[in-house]
């Protein structure tokens, strides 16, 4: 039997799109996967999905991630965190407690983190004894979050630095039917950083992370190439925002976030329709939607 996986990209506030998709999946009790892998906000979205908590991610993004206790430019200017990841995790768990029994009786969930010593991605299975550590690590934006989460003998930063779309990791783990929820429209390709010297300077304490940031665009685009041209015998189903998706990494305005969420809801409905043959959608008339 073909093993299937769900991969959810991060992208900070862009994660509002995936939250809409996954809310539709929950509403329709749709979970045909053997395991899931998330990165950064994508991992946070998966927590809501796998614990069957509709709109948890929506509220975390629209109410907590827009709160000045989380995102604070004056604090950053004074040498503090631009984003307080630990506060966001703790406050999310207080306001929207996870059903751990449901979460850990669901399919296995993995999260990508970037090892600060190697600059490469490590993939942790999320378990009850490492839940907060892994989620903090996978969402610990370099520079914007001053803390360096350390656990299990290593120290880490945002998984998106080394592997923003872990579709190859899903393949390596045996999946041959992979569904990917992206945070950018299908036309997007990441461009190389313009100020490589600045990245090297800002991350001088972590030279391997600086190197990983400098090749991040190349790795990201290679993942897109894998998605567009998967190995023989592998199906990759893509759910991506439409071209007019206006949410940026640090978008804070409620109307923009609401519109992005509704785009995710629509994309989730379209995906389910394509999976069950409704509307006659297939590979001939719905590129990348099945």
Q: Which residues are catalytic?
A: 40, 158
Phi, psi of 266 (to 5 degrees): -65, -40
The whole-angstrom separation of Cα 106 and Cα 166 is 20
Q: Per DSSP, what are the bridge partners of residue 175?
A: 3
Residues 6+ apart with CB under 8 A from 74: none
- Assigned token pair, 82: 């631009």
The whole-angstrom separation of Cα 177 and Cα 144 is 35
Strands 3-8 and 235-239: unpaired
Closest to 95 in 3D by CA, of 123, 127, 55, 124: 55
């Amino acid at each position: 039997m073909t093993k299937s996986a769900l991969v959810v990209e991060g992208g900070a506030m862009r994660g509002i799109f995936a939250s809409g998709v996954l809310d539709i999946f929950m509403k329709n009790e749709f979970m045909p996967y053997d395991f899931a892998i998330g990165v950064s906000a994508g991992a946070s979205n998966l927590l809501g999905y796998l614990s069957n908590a509709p709109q948890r991610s929506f509220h975390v993004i629209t109410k907590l991630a827009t709160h000045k206790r989380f995102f604070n430019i004056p604090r950053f200017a004074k040498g503090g965190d631009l984003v307080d990841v630990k506060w966001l995790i703790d406050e999310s768990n207080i306001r929207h407690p996870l059903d751990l029994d449901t979460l850990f009786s669901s399919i296995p969930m993995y999260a990508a983190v970037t090892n600060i010593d190697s600059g490469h991605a490590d993939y942790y299975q999320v378990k009850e004894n490492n839940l907060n550590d892994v989620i903090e690590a996978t969402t610990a934006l370099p520079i914007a979050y001053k803390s360096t989460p350390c656990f299990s003998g290593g120290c880490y930063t945002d998984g998106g630095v080394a592997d923003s779309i872990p579709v190859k990791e899903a393949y390596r783990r045996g999946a041959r039917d992979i569904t990917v929820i992206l945070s950018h429209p299908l036309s997007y390709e990441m461009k190389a950083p313009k100020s490589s010297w600045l990245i090297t300077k800002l991350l001088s304490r972590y030279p391997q992370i600086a190197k990983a940031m400098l090749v991040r665009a190349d790795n990201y685009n290679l993942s897109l190439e894998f998605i567009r041209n998967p190995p023989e015998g592998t199906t990759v189903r893509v759910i991506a925002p439409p071209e007019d998706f206006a949410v940026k990494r640090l978008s804070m305005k409620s109307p923009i976030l609401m519109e992005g969420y509704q785009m995710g809801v629509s994309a989730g409905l379209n995906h389910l329709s394509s999976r069950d043959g409704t509307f006659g959608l297939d590979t001939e008339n719905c590129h990348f939607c099945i």
